Structure 1
Amino acid sequence: MTIEKLSIIIPAYNEARTIHLILDKIKTVTLLNDIKKEVIIVNDCSKDDTEGAVYHYKASNPDLDIQYFKHEVNKGKGAALHTGIAKATGEYLIIQDADLEYDPAEYNDLLKPVINGFADVVYGSRFMGSNPHRILFFWHTIGNRWLTFASNMFSNLNLTDMETCYKLFNTKLIQSIKLTEKRFGFEPEVTQKISRVPKIRIYEVGISYYGRTYDEGKKIGWKDGVRAFYCIAKYGMFKSK
């Protein structure tokens, strides 16, 4: 499989302190087969100076292809991803949080099954492989495993980490799917809908995880977990479009 460009979708909300750090990591990554990088940042109406940080970085690093978009009102992570996905021009795209929990150096691990002609979609799992994983919240881990288990029941997949940020998609494929969840319901919705695509080839690879505490800026909470269960039922059990 020949890929000329990878689109990297970054939803950003109040990430002025760290967004330059993740962009530095993306900039230094050399992708397999000299694949070009297109970085698409969607600022979801941040209250801090995320916009200023992006403009400063963009001006200082003209060799990195950065496309910047802004929501005039806060709509949620899922809505920011919808915007980014619609704007992507690479043959494949990957989702990247603006924090430092996931390592762009592992893009190539997700690309390999695609380049080798095996996959259309690749999930990066925090629960498999021997890469480093920060030890944090017991109940978050239990919640993630239960959400993945419930999702697998309805999708008939055997994923180990449905809630992972790192999801690599064929761009035309994901652009053809109607996505509606505006917040963290994006993960179960996209998983259920992707699983129903005829002859879809989904792979999973182990990745590292450098999680944040709430003091360090983590945003997802228990209410998002409840919503995720609702979305699994809505898009899995009832196969809502």
Structure 2
Amino acid sequence: MGQTLSIVIPAYNEGATIHRILNKVKAVRLIGDIEKEVIIVNDCSRDNTEEAVKAYQAANPDLPISYYKHEVNQGKGAALHTGIRNAKGELVVIQDADLEYDPEEYNLLLKPILDGFADVVYGSRFMGGNPHRILFFWHSIGNRWLTMLSNMLTNLNLSDMETCYKLCRREVIQSLDLKEKRFGFEPEVTAKLSRIPKIRIYEVGISYYGRTYEEGKKIGWRDGFRAIWCIMKYNIWSK
């Protein structure tokens, strides 16, 4: 029997576009006869996200979708905790509900694991020759600086710690005691993965179709300061 990939999608006010990302997830053909399990966690959206998801479920019964809803908005990290905890597939990948990352590239992430080399694979926006939308200079500088600070303390050599695309063996990601409820998830999970004995972390280049704030981008400068605090906390102060 083949393996299953659990695709964890946190969603907040994504009612207008969530059907588009689900169409992409449905269309992708995974290597290795891998099946798909979609887990959507609605973090108390104020728009029609719930109605959009349920309408999609009804119209697409051939795509297994599990739907969870937070009654109080808790943040992206908290939505990821719920999705990861409920994942049943042997492999787990994180997928934002927006259209910045392309599910067609799951196979790039899967290959090092299926070939027996990796336990965790990061999709880097800063390596490889895939398309990247040109947007914010200071965001790219901030991402690289945060990655460098994280690398200094984890002794990893990642090029994109803040990437959404992280694919893990389920037993690895579910073994972590994750605390961060908002955008501190990325530095926390990286710090905790780096301390697993004999963990094998790989990185592959991916595309990036970034959004502007007018198009719905949510992360801001305050999240950058939180990321610095989380890097210090989970690598130095609370190992």
Which TM-score applies when normalising by structure 2?
0.99
SS at match of 1:223: helix
Is 2:123 the counterpart of 1:90? no
Alignment check: 8 A CA contact 1:3 1:91 kept: no
Is 2:227 the counterpart of 1:234? no
Aligned to 1:225: 224
Q: Cα offset for 1:237?
A: 2.1
Is 2:38 the counterpart of 1:35? no
Aligned to 1:195: 194
Is 2:186 the counterpart of 1:184? no
Q: Cα offset for 1:3?
A: 5.4
Q: Distance in 1 between matches of 2:16 and 2:208?
A: 19
Aligned to 1:117: 116
Aligned to 1:52: 51
Q: Distance in 1 between matches of 2:33 and 2:217?
A: 33
SS at match of 1:180: coil
Aligned to 2:98: 99
Aligned to 2:126: 127
Pair 1:3–1:236, CA change in 2 (3 A) = farther
1:46-93 CA-to-partner distances (Å, cap 9, x unmatched) read 000100000000000000000000000000000000000000000010
Alignment check: 8 A CA contact 1:38 1:66 kept: yes
1:3-23 CA-to-partner distances (Å, cap 9, x unmatched) read 510000000000001100000
Aligned to 1:152: 151
Stretches of structure 2 that go unaligned for 5 or more consecutive residues are none
Amino acid at match of 1:6: L
Q: Distance in 2 between matches of 1:156 and 1:91?
A: 27
Q: Cα offset for 1:34?
A: 1.6
Alignment check: 8 A CA contact 2:42 2:50 kept: yes
SS at match of 1:123: strand
Pair 1:176–1:3, CA change in 2 (3 A) = farther
Alignment check: 8 A CA contact 1:120 1:169 kept: yes
Please list every run of at least 4 consecutive aligned residues from structure 1 whose deviation after the TM superposition is greater than 3 angstroms: none
Alignment check: 8 A CA contact 2:7 2:94 kept: yes
Alignment length (residue pairs) = 239
Amino acid at match of 2:158: L
Report the RMSD for the aligned CA atoms in angstroms.
0.8
Alignment check: 8 A CA contact 1:3 1:115 kept: no
Percentage of matched positions with identical amino acids: 73
SS at match of 1:105: helix
Alignment check: 8 A CA contact 2:2 2:33 kept: no
Which TM-score applies when normalising by structure 1?
0.98
Alignment check: 8 A CA contact 2:24 2:104 kept: yes
Q: Cα offset for 1:33?
A: 1.6
Q: Distance in 2 between matches of 1:101 and 1:161?
A: 15
Alignment check: 8 A CA contact 2:44 2:70 kept: yes
